[in-house]
Every structure is written in structure tokens, then in C-alpha cells.
């Protein structure tokens, strides 16, 4: 049996031709937390001890999966998102830090709202995170993917956070919901022409339907959702979009043309245009 210190060295040696040292460290400590619920200080205090067999087996499994470019979130089975552990698999998009920033803006804005609707909810991370902070809020998530709705419902049940998840196509001739105070969406927004330049751990393992839009109509989801918002949002309701960095000005203009007010464009922590908000 090997010590945790020697296993960490083995983990680095096995993956250093694929990942940076910083990434490998991140993976290692994520696995430590999953199996043993250890923080870094626990590793420091116990690194000379012989390893737990479950940890050893999972570590070797993770090495094989990481070499196949499988996302660490899929290997772990969850992603940490806004203080919640959100289940993810190949049926849903892995929530990104930028989406946590979107949630933070919503949470900071929230006042006198009763109902939130998230279109293209995927894992359900957005309404679950907002509801976690504001238990009184009626939160709803819709998605065209039945498999995604199942994952979102599992997250709701496991976390004990009551969110209604509904199988619904945003392009359907009728939409069954109205009287919404907050309308939010992180829809597909990557033009298909960018696929060839993207990382294999995204292209090979995340649902393309949640990522890509036609090159000739990259704003297709924003257009339909913004138009819908003019019909289903209550007076003084707000709309929140996560966006492609290249289309910020176009989405601002789209909302302004539909007579939304207080249209704002926010940058993410990387300095890229990422979030647009507006009022009706």
C-alpha cells in the first residue's frame, strides 16, 4: 500500500504530459474530497499515511478517464456550483464559473420578485442556486431535453430544493407559462464554425444541442426568448442572459429594439462580455 504523498506524485507523473501541474493538483484534491471529504490541510496532516483502498481505486480510474479527455466533473459525477453539488453527466452542460457570476447578479438584484423562469435549464443549476438563496421564490426550469429535465429533477430531489422542471420547447407554438418576474437563460450560443477550435473534453462529452447554434443565426435563442419576455414578464420584470462574448452589442440592441429598458452589458472576471440584463 502506498502513502497519499506517493500517490500524488504518481498522479502527477501519469498526467503531466496532458495537463499542467496546477490542473493535476486541482484534480487530485477534488478526488480526495469526493472519497474522503478531505481538504488540503487534511492531506498535509496525513500525507505519509497509507492510502485508503477506495481512494486508490478511484484515483487509478480517474487517470484512465482523464487521459481520454473526460471532464473531471463527469468523473466525479458533480460540479460545485454556488455552494451546491450539482449532478452532471453527458446529458447536460457542465455549469461554468461565468454562470455563477450570472446567478450572483440575479441574487444581488432580487427584490419583490415572486416567480423565476429559467429557459434551457440543463442541470437546473440556475434556479436551484437562486431558490437556495431565496426559498420563498417560485422557481421553474424548462428544457427541450427530457434527459436534461431528469437530471435537473434528480438535483432538486437530492438537494431538497423545490423547483418545478418542465419539458418544453421554447420554439413551440404556445408557451404554457406567464406572469413571470425574472426570466433567465443561458442558451446555446456558440457558432458551429468554432467547434474545430474547442477542447475535446467539451466537444466529445457535452451535449452539442446545449452548446451550438447555426453560423447564420447565432442569436436565434435570444430573439425568441426576448420576444417571449415582452409577453410573459410582469410589469418591472427583468430578463437575464448569459452570452457569447462577440455578440454583446447585438443582444443589447435586440433588447432595446423590443423596448426593454435599463439594458446593461456586464463583463465576466476574465474581462469578456458575458451577461446582459434588462427590464420590461
- What string of pLDDT tens digits covers the 280 residues of the chain? 799 999 999 999 999 999 999 999 999 999 999 999 999 999 999 999 998 899 999 999 999 999 999 999 999 999 999 999 999 999 999 999 999 999 999 999 988 899 999 999 999 999 999 999 999 999 999 999 999 999 999 999 999 999 999 999 988 877 777 889 999 999 998 988 988 888 888 888 888 988 888 888 899 999 999 999 999 999 999 999 999 999 999 999 999 999 999 999 999 999 999 999 999 9
Listed by start position, the domains of the chain span 4-68, 92-279
Backbone φ/ψ region at 141: left (φ over 0), alpha (ψ -120 to 50), beta:
beta
Query: Is residue 222 packed enough to be buried (19+ CB in 10 Å), middle (13-18) or exposed (0-12)?
Result: buried
d(CA 34, CA 185): 30
Helix (H) or strand (E) holding 228: helix 220-232
pLDDT of residue 111: 81
pLDDT of residue 201: 83
Could you tell me which CATH number the domain at 92-279 has? Answer: 3.40.50.150
pLDDT of residue 258: 96
Residue count of the chain, please give it.
280
| Total Cβ atoms within 10 A of residue 116 | 25
Amino acid at each position: 500500500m502506498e502513502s497519499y504523498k506517493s500517490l500524488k506524485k504518481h498522479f502527477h507523473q501519469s498526467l503531466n504530459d496532458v495537463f499542467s501541474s496546477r490542473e493535476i493538483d486541482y484534480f487530485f484534491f477534488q478526488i480526495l474530497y469526493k472519497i474522503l471529504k478531505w481538504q488540503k490541510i487534511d492531506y498535509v496532516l496525513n500525507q505519509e499515511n497509507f492510502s485508503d483502498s477506495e481512494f486508490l481505486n478511484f484515483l487509478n480510474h480517474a487517470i484512465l478517464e482523464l487521459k481520454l479527455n473526460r471532464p473531471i466533473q463527469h468523473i466525479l459525477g458533480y460540479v460545485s456550483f454556488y455552494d451546491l453539488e450539482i449532478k452532471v453527466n453527458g446529458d447536460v452542460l457542465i455549469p461554468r464559473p461565468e454562470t455563477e457570476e450570472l446567478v450572483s447578479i440575479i441574487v444581488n438584484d432580487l427584490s419583490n420578485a415572486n416567480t423565476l423562469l429559467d429557459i434551457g435549464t440543463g442541470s437546473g443549476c440556475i434556479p436551484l442556486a437562486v431558490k437556495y438563496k431565496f426559498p420563498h421564490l417560485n422557481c421553474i426550469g424548462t428544457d427541450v431535453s427530457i434527459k436534461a429535465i431528469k437530471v435537473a429533477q434528480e438535483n432538486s430531489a437530492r438537494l431538497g430544493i423545490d423547483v418545478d422542471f418542465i419539458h418544453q420547447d421554447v420554439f413551440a407554438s404556445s408557451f404554457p407559462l406567464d406572469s413571470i418576474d425574472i426570466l433567465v437563460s443561458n442558451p446555446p450560443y456558440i457558432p458551429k464554425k468554432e467547434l474545430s477550435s474547442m477542447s475535446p473534453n467539451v466537444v466529445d462529452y457535452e451535449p452539442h444541442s446545449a452548446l451550438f447554434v447555426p453560423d447564420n443565426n447565432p442569436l436565434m435563442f435570444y430573439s425568441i426568448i426576448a420576444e417571449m419576455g415582452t409577453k410573459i414578464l410582469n410589469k418591472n420584470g427583468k430578463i437575464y442572459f448569459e452570452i457569447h462574448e462577440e455578440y454583446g452589442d447585438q443582444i443589447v440592441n435586440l433588447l432595446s429594439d423590443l423596448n426593454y429598458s435599463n439594458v446593461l452589458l456586464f463583463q465576466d472576471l476574465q474581462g469578456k462580455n458575458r451577461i446582459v440584463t434588462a427590464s420590461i
